[in-house]
Amino acid sequence: MTGLKLRILFPEVILGPGKAELLEGIRDTGSIAAAGRRMGMSYKRAWMLVEEMNAAWQPPLVSSARGGPGGGGAQLTEAGAEVLRLYREVMARAEAAVAEPVAALERMLKVRDMSKGK
């Protein structure tokens, strides 16, 4: 499947498809650990990425509460939801802008017969 992967390289942080997916996972699950598991990512790696994003943006993108008897959890802040929305908007605009040349490139690819393992 042809697709576009876009990373925005800020001086302080890189925002790309992985961090966007992590933010979506936190929004959907209410948990950094669960969002990481959903992506096949270790808890430590997910936490490191959240800390990196929180350090780069003001205000932070994710708020969290430690676990314990009442349980923990995480959620996107308003800023986190807005950063995620804006990243998805950038992606949608970029995909629309490059659709025609990408389709032309795809048509130029050598056709492979996947049933023969070639």
CA distances from 90 to 5, 59, 85, 112 (A): 11, 21, 9, 32
For residue 16, being part of any structural domain is answered with yes
Q: Is 102 inside any structural domain?
A: yes
Q: Is residue 110 part of a domain?
A: yes
Residue 7 maps to a domain: no
Residue with tokens 């950038």: 90
Instruction: Quote the pTM value.
Output: 0.86
**pLDDT of the residue at 67:** 66
- pLDDT value at residue 118: 47
CATH number at residue 31: 1.10.10.10
Q: Give residue 69's pLDDT.
A: 59
**pLDDT surpasses 90 at 114:** no
- 113 pLDDT band (50/70/90 cuts)? low
Opening angle at CA 50, ends 48 and 53, nearest 5: 110
In a domain? residue 1: no
Flag whether 95 is in a domain. Answer: yes
Q: Which residues constitute the domain of residue 59?
A: 12-116
The average pLDDT across 105-115 equals 79
CB 36 within 8 A of CB 54: no
Give the total number of structural domains in the chain: 1
pLDDT given for residue 71 in this prediction: 63
**pLDDT at residue 115, rounded to an integer:** 56
Which is nearest to 19 in space by CA: 79, 80, 63? 80
The answer for residues whose C-beta is within 8 angstroms of residue 31's C-beta and 6 or more apart is: 72, 73, 74
How much is the pLDDT for 42?
A: 95
The 10s digit of each residue's pLDDT in 36-73 is 999 999 999 999 999 999 999 999 999 988 766 556 79
